[in-house]
Amino acid sequence: MKKILVAGAALLLVGGMVGSAMAEVNLSGDARVRWMVKDSYDFGNTDQDTTNYFDSRVRVKVEAKAKGGAWAKARIRMNDFRWDGQGYGMVDEKKNIWVDYAYIGVPVGPTTLIGGEVVWDVTKFFQWDVRPTVAALNYKNDVVNIFGLAIVEDADSNAMDNLKDNNMRAYGIYAKANVSADWSVLFYGLYNSDQRDYNDDLTLRTGDDSGALGTVNVTGNVAGLGIVGEVSYMNSDVQGTENDGLGGYAEVSYAMGALTPALNIGFTKDSFTADGDFGWLMIGDIQPVAVIKNVGGYGMDWVWVAGTVDYAVSENLKLTGNLVWASIDSNDDAIADIDRLADLLEISGEAVYTVSEGATLQTAVGYLQPSYDGRADAAGVQDDGAFGFMASMNIKF
């Protein structure tokens, strides 16, 4: 029996040595458990009570590299659910375990061919953490990072379009250049090409979603003053609106030892909607305590002024505070109820405490006060402030 065990161990060792000579596989990931409390998220306009719940998940990243330099990346998500009190019942869910991205890269000379369902980050204002299916050619050095992109958005829409191979695709370029040690410029431009002729019910379509979209972002530093500016555009057909959308912002920050204040001023016009990763705590879908998931929206023009302060109390404890005011103008021709928002005021804060390397405790608390434009005064519409709280245990490995 001992000989069998020794022989088995030797085979495993040899197999591991051969595998490592051919490829390199790395595992990493993150996990969390959260508790949320939400009160008056409807601003007092229904009988909804205060809600509180837990959720949790574990994610594992797999990164493999062949001996010749080709690579593959994927991420597996496990039990990414709100706790339902049913214990092991959630293992029957279709998404108990699933993959949220998987793509490969093959170096060809100074470039890399990339294909699959990728993690696509442009800017947090325009587009962040999305999962398009992409074929791309990437060229990168110390100065520039350039992607030529072909994105498949809809290749199997309905039987009639499938007969003629009518697809919805997009083509574009992503280019980021380090102009100097302190300044970088990012350009992203995309053209949606919609060749579909039929709706899902096989009736003829009267229009299409073809059109251009893109953003320009400039980031730099002047005498310790951090500067970010961005302007974004969205064609009306891409948005599904009458007018083209436009948005932009400017932010300045200044690090003063452990204290870093920042001021963000921006706008969205004609239904332009910023990505959910842009925002704060109660406005913007960065944390689950958010009441308003996006800055901007259909039929709206936004203007905002936001002050943020980051303070490192110690190496282990980091604090963030936000004071945000947003003015919202609803277009008269937009489909909207009479209780149209006119202003929002957010007061929020966050604390992150590092327990050990890779493990943190996080809390966030926020208050969002709405104000309506007056046409709802006679309808009994309420404008109670929304309160949110989150406590989270996080690990990275």
Distance CA 214, CA 75 (A): 28
> Phi and psi at residue 89, in whole multiples of 5°?
-60, -25
Summarize the confidence of residues 26-44 as an average pLDDT. Answer: 95
Q: Token pair of 315, please?
A: 């190496």
pLDDT in tens, 184-203: 999 999 999 988 767 777 77
Mean pLDDT of all residues in the chain?
88
Distance CA 116, CA 106 (A): 12
Domains and CATH numbers, the chain: 241-397 (2.40.160.40)
pLDDT in tens, 272-331: 999 999 999 999 999 999 999 999 999 899 999 999 999 999 999 999 999 999 999 986
pTM for the whole structure: 0.88
Higher pLDDT, 42 or 66: 66
**Whole-number percent of the chain with pLDDT over 90:** 70
Determine contact, residues 342/372, Cβ cutoff 8 Å.
yes
Distance CA 28, CA 332 (A): 50
Q: Token pair of 326, please?
A: 């947003």
pLDDT band at 86 (very low <50, low <70, confident <90, very high): low
Distance CA 272, CA 194 (A): 20
Can you point out the beta strands (E) in 15-70?
23-39, 51-66
Cα–Cα distances (Å) from 94 to 31, 47, 62, 76, 91, in that order, read 20, 33, 21, 14, 8
pLDDT in tens, 136-192: 999 999 999 999 999 988 777 777 667 777 777 899 999 999 999 999 999 999 999
